[in-house]
Chain A
Amino acid sequence: MPQSGVTNQVTAVLLNFRSFDTLLELAVLLLAVVGVWSLGRSAGAPAGVAVNPILLTMLRGILPLAILIAGYLVWLGEHAPGGAFQGGAVLGAAGILLALAGRPLPDFCPPWLLRATLSGGLLVFLGLAAVPLGLDRFFFQYPVGWAGAFILAIEAAAAISIGLALCLLPDGGAPATVQQQRRFGKAAGLAHKGSAAPGCFPEPAALLNGCEPLNQQAIAPPDEQLQASKRRLPAAGQQR
């Protein structure tokens, strides 16, 4: 146990005694994303959600906190329950929130960066596991005294990859290409990037209709919705 480099038993098992398990686990997660992407983008799927300023404002506070918590969880894995997967799950949730607010990661990350980050965890793991080979040791047999540093580096890289994979998986297809996004923006008449009208919520109808031209008149303007809800409220009061 003291030779493993970490004091948390589960982390020691995952990243030292049974490293192959974790390595292939990362590979399966990567394969799942590759598999989903290989299905392509279905014709009916919407290419984006309208920017939601309220959620975005909230995210300005949540995002740094989420990244901080993820880093803390990875570091915590050394001596307590925590680690790459827990940290990655927090990062993934932050990424999904970003997508819900209308700013999915594929929008502002170049594709090569996405791919590099996705496979980064696996590559760093493989690279660090191969380092002992050059030192006349076995695969995964970390140098004495360095095991803790190796494990922390692997966990940090893995957490970022896992987070990205988890927030890209629910998308259910390859990230929309720029052309698809433009087409969606034109068809739906929505300001997908940049200037959204204040109070512009992601309209459910835009999601349901997919790529069909959105009938703007079908959706009541915010004022009418407000009045309608006001009309409904007194009625509910009278019933009581």
Chain B
Amino acid sequence: MSADLLYGITGLMLFCLGLAALFTRAEMLRKILALNIGGSGIFLLMISIAYDPTGGEPDSVLHALVLTGIVITVSITGFALALAGREQETGDGGQGAEEQEEQEEPGGESSR
């Protein structure tokens, strides 16, 4: 098994793990963590796709996209954590669904 294939499969598995946890776990913190793990899986997959097995230069567009994705993920994670912390303080459980939709966006963007 070649190295890039191994990285790609690992990335896919991480994405599936994150996706499963995102849907099955109720706690907001776990959801945010799951989103980060799933996103990292996508980044790993994209980096392994960018790799050129013939030894040439890797695809720099994908590298740039991953770099963008990481920054977006950090931004959204920071904002989501602040929101989740505030939600826990006020004890308002009715906003969970809205928050989750908001968090879906970066994953979709980075997987494009």
Contact = CB atoms under 8 A, between A and B. Distances in A.
A31 B79 CA distance: 9
Contact of B76 (A13, A32, A173): A32
B1 interface: no
A36 B78 contact: yes
Interface string B76-112: 1011011101100100000000000000000000000
A18 B57 CA distance: 19
Given A9-B57, A10-B60, A85 B67 contact: yes
B26 interface: no
Interface stretch (A22-30, A178-186, A200-208): A22-30
A13 B75 contact: no
A210 to B, nearest CB: 10
B80 to A, nearest CB: 9
A17 B81 CA distance: 33
Contacts of A35: 79, 82
A32 B60 CA distance: 27
Given A39-B86, A173-B82, A28 B64 contact: no
Contact of A13 (B64, B85, B89): B64
B13 interface: no
A172 interface: yes
Nearest to B66: A10
Interface string A24-50: 010011011101100100101000000
Contact of A39 (B63, B75, B82): B82
Interface SS majority for chain A: helix
B83 A12 contact: no
Contacts of B57: 9
A2 interface: no
B75 A28 contact: yes
Contacts of A36: 78-79, 82
B82 A25 contact: no
A21 interface: yes
Contacts of B78: 32-33, 36, 169-170
Interface string B43-84: 000000000000001001101110110111011101101110
A162 B82 CA distance: 18
Interface in A149-172: 162, 165-166, 169-170, 172
A216 B64 CA distance: 52
A39 B67 CA distance: 28
Contacts of A172: 81-82, 85
A217 B71 CA distance: 45
A14 interface: yes
B75 A169 contact: yes
Contact of B74 (A13, A14, A169, A173): A169
Interface of B: 57, 60-61, 63-65, 67-68, 70-72, 74-76, 78-79, 81-83, 85-86, 89
Given A9-B63, A25-B72, A35-B82, 12 more contacts: A10-B63, A13-B63, A13-B64, A14-B64, A18-B64, A21-B68, A22-B68, A28-B71, A35-B79, A36-B82, A44-B89, A172-B81
